[in-house]
Amino acid sequence: MKQAQDVSSKLRDTSRGETLPVRLGCVDSFAATVGPELIRAMSGSTRQIEMWSGLTPALSAQIHQREVDVVVCTQTTITDTRLVEVPLLSEAFLAVASRRWFERHKGANPEWGSLAAELPLIRYTARSVIGQQIERLARHLNIGSARHYEFDATDPLLSLVSANLGFAISAPLCLWQARHYLDTLVVFPLSRSHLSRRDFFILHRRAEWDELVDQISALTGNVLDELIRPALKKLLPQMPATALQQSNITRTHRDKSI
């Protein structure tokens, strides 16, 4: 990943003259997928990095209270005009089923509607933003499955899907986070609507950490292009090419206040 190495060098060069630690908070799916590459790029620098993961509501509260400096989250709920949001990436929600279910139905060219008609929906809990977003999408798609199973994390959710106990709605980074299940799963595109994607943002205070935020954005694009998208395409060939995209944001858009 030559581009990632170039970004890594810039991060190290920038941080040599700066000694203040940066406190970086990330939602779980980002921390577990792109996070290791960020840490690898920043390793060896004099900049102290404090990185931890959590749910978007907690991270939003922490940056508001100055407990963190930079946040990667999936929904901006802060009204503090001193904060800046930088669009980072966008991903589509996908229906996920077991390969066993697909093999039994592949002669009929199954799609997500077949899943919803036959299997219960295994959900993320409403404590998480992704759980709330998927619940709104499920209602929009008229998926009226009763609440039997709910999970905070993708790993146990996909374990039930893999066992053919139901289907799920998830997103590419979550699937990559629990990629040890992917050879037992298939995905189906959902109907496109304003609810069918989720967006990631970087939040930081105005005029603070600008260069670091730009470098995190650049490194994220490299990781998506060179690692995650190619691997997902190989493991889940049904996944649309547009299911995981970096936001095309220019410098002039970076100063948009929340």
pLDDT greater at residue 237 or residue 41: 237
Contacts of 23 (CB under 8 A, 6+ apart): 50, 67, 68, 69, 70
In a shared domain, residues 101 and 84: no
Evaluate if residue 2 carries a pLDDT over 70.
Answer: no
Residue 179: the pLDDT is 96
In a shared domain, residues 41 and 156: no
Mean pLDDT, range 168-195, rounded to an integer: 96
Residue 172: the pLDDT is 98
**pTM listed for this prediction:** 0.85
For residue range 24-53, list pLDDT tens digits in order: 999 999 999 999 988 887 776 656 778 888
With respect to residue 258, please indicate whether it lies within any of the assigned structural domains.
no
With respect to residue 236, please indicate whether it lies within any of the assigned structural domains.
yes
Domain boundary among 140, 161, 189: 189
In a shared domain, residues 166 and 183: yes
Contacts of 48 (CB under 8 A, 6+ apart): 19, 21, 22
Which CATH number characterizes residue 213's domain? Answer: 3.40.190.10
User: Cα separation of 72 and 174, whole Å?
Assistant: 15
Mean pLDDT, range 116-143, rounded to an integer: 94
In a shared domain, residues 30 and 62: yes
In a shared domain, residues 85 and 213: yes
In a shared domain, residues 183 and 224: no
User: Cα separation of 25 and 190, whole Å?
Assistant: 30
Count of domains for the chain: 2
In a shared domain, residues 23 and 72: yes
Residue 47: the pLDDT is 65
With respect to residue 37, please indicate whether it lies within any of the assigned structural domains.
yes
Strand partners, 202: 72, 86
Evaluate if residue 228 carries a pLDDT over 80.
Answer: yes
Residue 231: the pLDDT is 97
Residue 161: the pLDDT is 98
The beta-strand segments (E) located in 14-140 are: 22-27, 49-54, 70-73, 83-92, 94-98, 121-124
Evaluate if residue 255 carries a pLDDT over 50.
Answer: no
Residue 254: the pLDDT is 45
Residue 7: the pLDDT is 44
In a shared domain, residues 84 and 27: yes
For the record, the structure tokens of 10 come out as 């810039």
User: Cα separation of 174 and 225, whole Å?
Assistant: 17
Evaluate if residue 192 carries a pLDDT over 70.
Answer: yes
User: Cα separation of 1 and 9, whole Å?
Assistant: 13
With respect to residue 213, please indicate whether it lies within any of the assigned structural domains.
yes
Mean pLDDT, range 204-231, rounded to an integer: 92
In a shared domain, residues 79 and 129: no
User: Cα separation of 205 and 188, whole Å?
Assistant: 39
pLDDT greater at residue 233 or residue 250: 233
Picking from 59-63, 145-149, 159-163, 220-224, which range would have the lowest pLDDT averaged per residue?
145-149
Residue 239: strand, helix, or coil: coil
Domain boundary among 189, 215, 231: 189
With respect to residue 224, please indicate whether it lies within any of the assigned structural domains.
yes
- Show the CA angle centred on residue 182, arms to residues 178 and 186, nearest 5°: 125
For residue range 58-91, list pLDDT tens digits in order: 888 889 888 999 999 997 666 788 899 999 999 9
Residue 52: the pLDDT is 84
C-alpha of 91 from chain center: 7
Which residue has tokens 């066993």? 100
Contacts of 6 (CB under 8 A, 6+ apart): none
Domain boundary among 158, 189, 220: 189
Q: Which domain holds residue 184?
A: 94-189
In a shared domain, residues 21 and 71: yes
